[in-house]
Structure formats: structure tokens, C-alpha cells
């Protein structure tokens, strides 16, 4: 090489390496979990909420906006939008009354016609849907419709499939419809819409079965289902579920006195059949013998909620790199401190192990190849801690997302676009929903300077 050319290459190589390093910086932040930015769309507005980590917000590519929903004072439903071009938030918009019940939280998806739908199971009474008047927008006066097919509902969990079909899973409080039914008989059902939420059919009409999964004759009366999380898999058309049981115990029929056990099941949105982790076809209804024989991840003692070895209401579900499922949850030790667990299906049995201590596991985010980011909090402390969980087995601390005040709920925003990756609802200082002093946070990796140009 001629000396002038050598000198030119020597000068260019460092510049090229520097340019590559700058280009790789956002990817590096994503890979390590460092550098989360935090926005506060609304301050001192959130009440205590029982919302599961499902359908709190979504990104709309047409509007280039992120839409979020949350529970304010009296559990009223509010929405907000983040404009990714202007990098601004709209003011909170009141959509519907929550009737001062923390169970009446909103869940939100976008129908195939672009309209936003907010679902509320009005704690043991009815399913209510609010619909935006304009596609790809929060603007205007929303309409509200009660869905009789989803009567006596709590804990709505909506899913939109790749063909636009809408599924809404919910738990039925059966004695609200049949006074002779025990108070601790509360099975899971679902409703389905093929016209963007305008009309619905329920699982009884579609399958002829009295419920989708649950039981009504256990000797311990643990006939209440608490689904911790569901997760839709577009590539297979399956919905994964992680859940636990509650009930009055063997001597009484009372609601949510005892908890026990961890379970996993999947559901085909194509043929409406349920399946075990081993692939066993359980048909269109799961009953207790099938649940106990094929779906149990972990047997735990009959315990009061919050007692030793009692699983929490919130569990997470995901897939390993080979497609096999895993479940995460936390239990409590004798001192009332959380102990954190993961159970991974190995093809024959569940490998269950403790992975951490002192954390309330809030949500998990798929990063690919069996790697998941876990979002967790510590009681009465600010900040969200993140961890890497590989194939439901290997646990590694990752980063800390700094928040001014404690957080009660974390949800990955559907189809997210950074910097709006997760919605974190700040913890209220009181259990009474008349007190609404929690912040609303949205966090994500900072957008590079060229984003949106």
C-alpha cells in the first residue's frame, strides 16, 4: 500500500469505528437494559388497582401514538395518548365511572377497524365496553355498551387475534346468576366477537359447556379461578394461561379465604380447545380431574392469602426457546417476605426453582430466543428492577428503572415503540380508591435523535 493511501486509511478507520459505536448505542442499551427513560404523563392521580398485567396500553402505527388506560379516583377509567412525532402527552381523559371498586379497572385493545375498545368487568355484575367514536384517536364522546353475554363478570382479559377476532376472558361469579350456587364457585368463561366488538357470543353458546375452565365440586371448595396472566401467541393461535385457586376451604363456602397451587394451560383460538403443556387435548372445557392430572405446575398447601407458600394473585407466563412454556410467580415466607419462583416445562415435568427473594414480580417481556426481561418491585420502595430470565431457569440482575414513588402495576405496552415500552401505575398510599395519589409512569429506551425524521 502506498504511504499516502496508508495514511488515509489510518485516519478513516478510527472514524468508522466511532460511527459504528454510535450506531450500535441504542441496540446496546436494549441488550443490557440500561438507560431506561421515564416519563410521567400524570401525577398523583392513580388509585389502587387490581389490574392484571394485560392490555394496559398499545402503540398505533397509523396514528404514530401510544395509547394508555388507568384507574383514577373512585376507580374511574382514564386514557391518554403520547404523540411520537411531537413527543407530547395529551391530558387525562375521563371515559367511564368505576363505581369506587378497585376491581373495575380498564383493559384496552384496538379493533381491526382502528377503534379503541376499553373493557371493564364491573366486579361480579356485568361486562361493559367503551368504544372510541373515531378510529386511531381518543377524541370525541365514547359510547358505552353492556354485553349481556358476559354477565356476572370480573377481571376482563381481552385478546385480538391475527384475523381480527376478539376474545375476552373473564371470571364469572355464578351465584349472582344462580343464588343457589356457592359463593366460592367462580369459573372462567369467554366471549367472542367477529365484527370488531359490535356483537358477541359467549363460550356457553359456542361450545355448549357451562364454563371454559374451573370446577364446582372440590372437597376443599377451591373452586375459584384466579388467572394471573394470559399471553397470545400469533404464530400458533394459542393463548397461554397461568393461574391459581381460591375458595373457602374444606369446612365452608366463602369467597377467597384460602389459596393454593399453580397451573398452566393453553387455548386454541382456532378450535376452542384447551391443551396441557404436554400437548394433551382437553377439549372445550377443563374440569377439576383434568386440571389436577395434567395442568398442575406446583402443589402448595391450603393457606390463607399472604401466608407461607401461598401463591399471589398475579403470575406470569411465557415460552422457552423451544416453545415449551414457563410460569413465574411469588409466594411468601413465614416473615411475610416474597419468595420468587419460576417453573419450566422440560417435556415431562415442571422444573420449579426459587430464583430470587424480596421481589413482587409484575410483568415479563420477551426479548427473543427464550430470553425474557422481568419487571419487579419491592414493597414500599420506589423504582422498578429488571432481570433477565432465560428459558425459565437462569436469573440475572439487569438494571433499575428510577421512579420517584413506589409502583403497584407494570404492563408491557402492546406493539410498543420506545420510549413508551412499559406502563407503570404508581402505588396509592391507601387501599381506599377514594384516595388517588399514585403517579402514572411510562418508561422505555430513549429514542435516538433521528427517530421520527
Which residues in 59-88 are b (16+ Cβ under 10 Å) and which e?
A: bbeebebbbbbbbbbbbbbbbbbbebeeee
Predicted local confidence at residue 308, as pLDDT: 63
Q: How many residues does the chain have?
A: 453
Predicted local confidence at residue 27, as pLDDT: 36
CA distance 352 to 327: 9
Predicted local confidence at residue 451, as pLDDT: 43
CA distance 341 to 94: 38
Taking a C-beta distance cutoff of 8 angstroms, is the pair 256, 305 a contact?
yes
Pick the CATH number of 35-444 from 2.130.10.10, 1.20.1630.10, 3.30.70.370, 3.60.15.10: 2.130.10.10
Lowest model confidence (mean pLDDT) among 10-24, 107-121, 176-190: 10-24
Torsion over CA of 104, 132, 140 and 438, rounded to 10 degrees? 30
Taking a C-beta distance cutoff of 8 angstroms, is the pair 170, 156 a contact?
yes
Half-sphere exposure at residue 412, Cβ-oriented, CA atoms within 13 angstroms:
19
Taking a C-beta distance cutoff of 8 angstroms, is the pair 264, 281 a contact?
no
Task: Give the SS3 label for residue 278.
Answer: coil
DSSP string for residues in 93-147 = EEEE--TT-TT---EEEE-TTS-EEEEEE-TTS-EEEEE-SSTT---SPPEEEEE
Residue 299: name the closest of 344, 350, 252 by CA. 350
Given a cut of 50, is residue 226 above it in pLDDT?
Answer: yes
Predicted local confidence at residue 21, as pLDDT: 30
Predicted local confidence at residue 447, as pLDDT: 54
The C-alpha angle 273, 201, 50, rounded to 5 degrees, equals 80
H or E segment to which residue 66 belongs: strand 65-71
Given a cut of 70, is residue 430 above it in pLDDT?
Answer: yes
Which residues in 298-318 are b (16+ Cβ under 10 Å) and which e?
A: bebebbeeebebbbbbbbbbb
Predicted local confidence at residue 23, as pLDDT: 29
Query: What percent of the chain clears pLDDT 70, i.e. is strictly above it?
Result: 90
Judging by DSSP bridges, how do beta strands 223-233 and 185-186 pair with one another? parallel
Q: What share of the chain is helix, strand, coil (3-state, %, to 5)?
A: 10, 45, 40
Predicted local confidence at residue 8, as pLDDT: 38
CA distance 362 to 358: 13
Q: Which residues contact 12 (CB under 8 A, 6 or more apart)?
A: none
Predicted local confidence at residue 34, as pLDDT: 61
Given a cut of 90, is residue 13 above it in pLDDT?
Answer: no
Q: What is the pLDDT of residues 126-170, one digit of tens each?
A: 999 999 999 999 999 999 999 999 999 999 999 999 999 999 999
Given a cut of 50, is residue 10 above it in pLDDT?
Answer: no
Query: How many CB atoms are closer than 10 A to CB 445?
Result: 18
Q: Which residue has the higher pLDDT, 26 or 269?
A: 269
**Torsional class of 323: left (φ above 0), alpha (ψ -120 to 50), beta (otherwise):** left
Given a cut of 60, is residue 185 above it in pLDDT?
Answer: yes
The C-alpha angle 152, 244, 354, rounded to 5 degrees, equals 155
Query: Please, is 6 exposed, middle or buried when counting C-beta atoms within 10 Å of its C-beta (0-12, 13-18, 19+)?
Result: exposed
Q: Which residues contact 75 (CB under 8 A, 6 or more apart)?
A: 47, 49, 98, 99, 100, 101, 102, 103, 104, 105, 433
The whole model's pTM is what?
0.91
Q: pLDDT band at 35, cuts 50/70/90?
A: confident
Given a cut of 50, is residue 249 above it in pLDDT?
Answer: yes
Residue 187: name the closest of 257, 107, 269, 246 by CA. 246
Predicted local confidence at residue 333, as pLDDT: 81
Amino acid at each position: 500500500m502506498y504511504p499516502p493511501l496508508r495514511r488515509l486509511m489510518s485516519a478513516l478507520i478510527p472514524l468508522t469505528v466511532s460511527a459504528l459505536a454510535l450506531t450500535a448505542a441504542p441496540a446496546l442499551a436494549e441488550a443490557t437494559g440500561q438507560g431506561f427513560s421515564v416519563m410521567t404523563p400524570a401525577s398523583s392521580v392513580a388509585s389502587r388497582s387490581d389490574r392484571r398485567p394485560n392490555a394496559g396500553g398499545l402503540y398505533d402505527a397509523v396514528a404514530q401514538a401510544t395509547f394508555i388506560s388507568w384507574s383514577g379516583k373512585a376507580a374511574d377509567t382514564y386514557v391518554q395518548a403520547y404523540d411520537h412525532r411531537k413527543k407530547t402527552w395529551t391530558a387525562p381523559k375521563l371515559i367511564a365511572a368505576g363505581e369506587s371498586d378497585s376491581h373495575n379497572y380498564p383493559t384496552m385493545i384496538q379493533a381491526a377497524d382502528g377503534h379503541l375498545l376499553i373493557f371493564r368487568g364491573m366486579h361480579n355484575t356485568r361486562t361493559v365496553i367503551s368504544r372510541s367514536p373515531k378510529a386511531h384517536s381518543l377524541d370525541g364522546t365514547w359510547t358505552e355498551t353492556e354485553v349481556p353475554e358476559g354477565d356476572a363478570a370480573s377481571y376482563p382479559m381481552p385478546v385480538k387475534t391475527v384475523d381480527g377476532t376478539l376474545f375476552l376472558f373473564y371470571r364469572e361469579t355464578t351465584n349472582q346468576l344462580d343464588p343457589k350456587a356457592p359463593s366460592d364457585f367462580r369459573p372462567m368463561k369467554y366471549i367472542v366477537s367477529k365484527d370488531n366488538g359490535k356483537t358477541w357470543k359467549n363460550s356457553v353458546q359456542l361450545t355448549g359447556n357451562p364454563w371454559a375452565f374451573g370446577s364446582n365440586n372440590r372437597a376443599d371448595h377451591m373452586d375459584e379461578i384466579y388467572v394471573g396472566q394470559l399471553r397470545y401467541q400469533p404464530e400458533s393461535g394459542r393463548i397461554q394461561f397461568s393461574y391459581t385457586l381460591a375458595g373457602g376451604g374444606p369446612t365452608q363456602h366463602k369467597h377467597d379465604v384460602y389459596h393454593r397451587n399453580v397451573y398452566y394451560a393453553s387455548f386454541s383460538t382456532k378450535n376452542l380447545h384447551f391443551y396441557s403443556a404436554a400437548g394433551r387435548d382437553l377439549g372445550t372445557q377443563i374440569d377439576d380431574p383434568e386440571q389436577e392430572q395434567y395442568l398442575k405446575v406446583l402443589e402448595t398447601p391450603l393457606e390463607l392469602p399472604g401466608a407461607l407458600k401461598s401463591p399471589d394473585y398475579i403470575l406470569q407466563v411465557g415460552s422457552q426457546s423451544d416453545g415449551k412454556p414457563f410460569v413465574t410467580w411469588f409466594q411468601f415466607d413465614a416473615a411475610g417476605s416474597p419468595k420468587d419462583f419460576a417453573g419450566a416445562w422440560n417435556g415431562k415435568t415442571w422444573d420449579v426453582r426459587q430464583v430470587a427473594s424480596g421481589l413482587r414480580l409484575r410483568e415479563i417481556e420477551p426479548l427473543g430466543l427464550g430470553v425474557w426481561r422481568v419487571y419487579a418491585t419491592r414493597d414500599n420502595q420506589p423504582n422498578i428492577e429488571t432481570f433477565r430470565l432465560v428459558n425459565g431457569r437462569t436469573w440475572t440482575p439487569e438494571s433499575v428503572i428510577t421512579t420517584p414513588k413506589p409502583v403497584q402495576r407494570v404492563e408491557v405496552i402492546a406493539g410498543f415503540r420506545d420510549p413508551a415500552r412499559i406502563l407503570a401505575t404508581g402505588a396509592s398510599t391507601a387501599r381506599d380508591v377514594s384516595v388517588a395519589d399514585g403517579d402514572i409512569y411510562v418508561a422505555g429506551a430513549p429514542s435516538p435523535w433521528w427517530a421520527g425524521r
